[in-house]
Structure 1
Amino acid sequence: MIYAIIEVSGKQVWMQPGRFYDLNKIAAKSGEVIKLEKILFIRNNVETIIGDPCIQDASVKGRVLRHLRGRKITIFKMKPKKNQRSKNGHRQELSRVLVESIQLKGLKV
């Protein structure tokens, strides 16, 4: 099993080649290839590599499939005995990214 843990948009995400992930919106068009370079950890069948904090010369190549919006979250605030209520909603802008490969020092993993 080959995987990498990367940092993207303030979160740490476990990624594997051939799978897609919903990340916070990335400034790229649909179908565009992106390169994510903040790799914290790589594990393949032979070895484990841990970054300090990131691994040099490592990257994850992915393709932006489409942009979408996440599910709606309702925020309700209330102050008791004051008749003060507020109800808001939020939908996060997301990008669906297909991970094509994990690369380390020119070696495709």
Structure 2
Amino acid sequence: MSYAIIETGGKQLRVEPGRFYDIELLPVEEDGSVSIEKVLFVAHEDDVHIGQPLVEGATVEGTVLRHFRARKVLVYKMKPKKKTRKKRGHRQEVTRLMINSINLNGAVLASAETAEAATAAE
């Protein structure tokens, strides 16, 4: 099993090839490809690469599936005994990203096709 830990949108996320993740909005068209260079950790079978802070030459390739807005988060502020109440809502813009492959120094360590073949073999 191969996975990587990436940083995007100010958050760190553990990603695997062949799966999709909802991340902060990326300025890329739908069905466009994205290459993320901020890779903090790569694990491929027994081989582990730890970045200080980033892994040199590591990239994660992905495809943007769609852009949408996340569920509404309600913010309610109230001061007791003052009759002061504020109710606000917020919906974050989100990009759904399908991870295609994890690359290290130009070589593909894991891709969506190898991940599907590994799960079918089990």
With the length of structure 2 as denominator, give the TM-score of the two structures.
0.88
* Deviation >6 Å, runs of 4+: none
After superposition, the C-alpha distances for 1:37-93 in whole angstroms (9 at most, x for unaligned) are 000000011300000000111100000000011111110000011100000001110
Q: Offset of 1:26 from its aligned partner? A: 0.3
The alignment status of 1:105 with 2:69, answered yes or no, reads: no
Match of 2:76?
A: 76
- 1:52 & 1:4 partners in 2: Cα distance? 14
The alignment status of 1:8 with 2:12, answered yes or no, reads: no
- 1:28 & 1:106 partners in 2: Cα distance? 23
Residues 1-109 of structure 1: matches in 2 within 5 Å? 1-109=1-109
- 2:63 & 2:32 partners in 1: Cα distance? 6
1:103 alignment partner AA: N
Percent sequence identity over aligned pairs: 46
**Gapped runs of 5+ residues in structure 2?**
110-122
After superposition, the C-alpha distances for 1:12-54 in whole angstroms (9 at most, x for unaligned) are 0000000000001000000000100000000011300000000
- 1:57 & 1:43 partners in 2: Cα distance? 14
With the length of structure 1 as denominator, give the TM-score of the two structures.
0.98
- 1:39 & 1:15 partners in 2: Cα distance? 10
- 2:63 & 2:102 partners in 1: Cα distance? 13
Task: Give the structure with the larger helix fraction.
Answer: 2
